[in-house]
């Protein structure tokens, strides 16, 4: 009996090009974030996508060599790394696993939750988890995470030092407030090293190929990390797009994670990964063009 090829791997380049062109058009309604100076200068029109299917098919379109910081797209991978290194108990003693109702950097949400981050996909959760990454300082911690990810994914992530300088040039008061509140509630020991590590891992950068390869780690996971990948995909599905996660689940139904750079990663379990980059964001901080594209793919796959 002939096994049918996956729908993802039978997507046609012309189809992808049509969707991507429309995605660029739709992205005009989005905003470029201004709180990180170097991100504020991003090219609104830039668009890149790579789709990798489990059978080896790769489909790309747009500025595929353009590198960008992962920003919050790194969060599921911080979680995966720590689940593999430290185990579930250490991770979920530190962060919850429920969807949030407020913005990704909301102090009110953290206060309602008595200082325990609601989940690993919002800033408080990722800052708390950054403090658990092994290593004697932020540089070493980020190196440990980056090396592990590049090994797992065969990717070439690097720290964009200029982006990091830009992040540090305008200290993010909201993230500081989150870190200090977690120290007060006893969920964080050292706010400085946690934030320094968090800012650094957010500046791990690559192109859409690197991002799609990271996604394939979650799809192709062998027995050793399979259970942890399942946990990560579940949290991406329920929390990956912040307070828009529930709405997105109804419309698209795929685990996804966005970043303020305009990066967006989604996986179709058992089929493949879709990575895109398009800077304009909607009011929740998710890439307008990237979400549009995912919606189109989900309709046919
Ligand atoms: N480094 C960014 C911040 O803390 C990441 C947030 C994001 O991508 N949503 O604001």
Q: What is the pLDDT, as a whole number, of residue 5?
A: 63
Ligand 1 mutation target, pool 38, 72, 264, most atoms within 8 A of CB: 72
What separation in Å is there between the alpha carbon of 103 and the centre of ligand 1?
Answer: 11
Q: What is the pLDDT, as a whole number, of residue 85?
A: 97
Residues with CB under 6 A from ligand 1: 71-72, 104, 123, 172, 175, 202, 259-260, 285
CB 208 within 8 A of CB 50: yes
pLDDT in tens, 248-283: 999 999 999 999 999 999 999 999 999 999 999 999
**Residue that is written with structure tokens 């990948």 in the block:** 229
Q: What is the pLDDT, as a whole number, of residue 2?
A: 43
Q: What is the pLDDT, as a whole number, of residue 4?
A: 54
Q: Which residues of the chain have pLDDT under 50?
A: 1-2
| Alpha-carbon span 72 to 104, nearest angstrom | 10
Ligand 1 mutation target, pool 104, 170, 195, most atoms within 8 A of CB: 104
Q: What is the pLDDT, as a whole number, of residue 179?
A: 98
Which residue's C-alpha comes closest to atom 2 of ligand 1?
71
What separation in Å is there between the alpha carbon of 53 and the centre of ligand 1?
Answer: 29
Q: What is the pLDDT, as a whole number, of residue 6?
A: 74
Give CA angle at 7 (6, 9), nearest 5°.
70
Per-position DSSP letters for 80-126, written without gaps between them: HHHHHHH-HHHHHHHS--S--SS-TT-HHHHHHTTTS-S-TTSHHHH
């Amino acid at each position: 009996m002939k096994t049918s090829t996956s729908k993802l791997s039978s997507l046609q380049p012309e189809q992808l090009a049509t969707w991507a062109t429309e995605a660029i058009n739709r992205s005009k309604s989005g905003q470029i974030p201004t709180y990180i100076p170097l991100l504020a200068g991003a090219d609104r029109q830039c668009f890149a996508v790579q789709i990798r299917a489990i059978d080896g098919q790769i489909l790309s379109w747009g500025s595929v060599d353009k590198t960008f910081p992962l920003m919050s797209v790194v969060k599921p991978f911080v979680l995966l790394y720590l689940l593999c290194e430290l185990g579930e108990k250490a991770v979920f003693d530190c962060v919850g696993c429920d969807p949030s109702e407020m913005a990704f950097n909301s102090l009110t949400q953290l206060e309602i939750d008595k200082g325990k981050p609601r989940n690993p996909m919002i800033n408080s959760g990722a800052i708390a988890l950054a403090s658990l990454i092994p290593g004697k300082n932020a540089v070493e911690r980020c190196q440990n995470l980056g090396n592990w990810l590049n090994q797992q994914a065969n990717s070439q992530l690097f720290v964009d030092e200029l982006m990091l300088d830009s992040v540090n040039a305008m200290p993010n008061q909201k993230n500081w407030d989150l870190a200090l509140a977690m120290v007060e509630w006893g969920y964080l020991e050292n706010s400085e090293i946690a934030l320094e590590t968090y800012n650094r891992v957010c500046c791990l950068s690559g192109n859409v190929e690197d991002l799609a390869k990271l996604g394939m780690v979650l799809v192709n996971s062998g027995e050793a990390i399979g259970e942890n990948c399942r946990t990560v995909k579940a949290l991406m599905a329920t929390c990956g797009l912040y307070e828009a996660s529930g709405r997105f689940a109804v419309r698209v139904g795929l685990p996804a994670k966005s970043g303020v750079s305009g990066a967006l990663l989604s996986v179709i379990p058992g089929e493949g990964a879709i990575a895109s980059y398009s800077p304009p964001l909607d009011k929740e901080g998710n890439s307008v063009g990237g979400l549009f594209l995912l919606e189109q793919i989900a309709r046919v796959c």
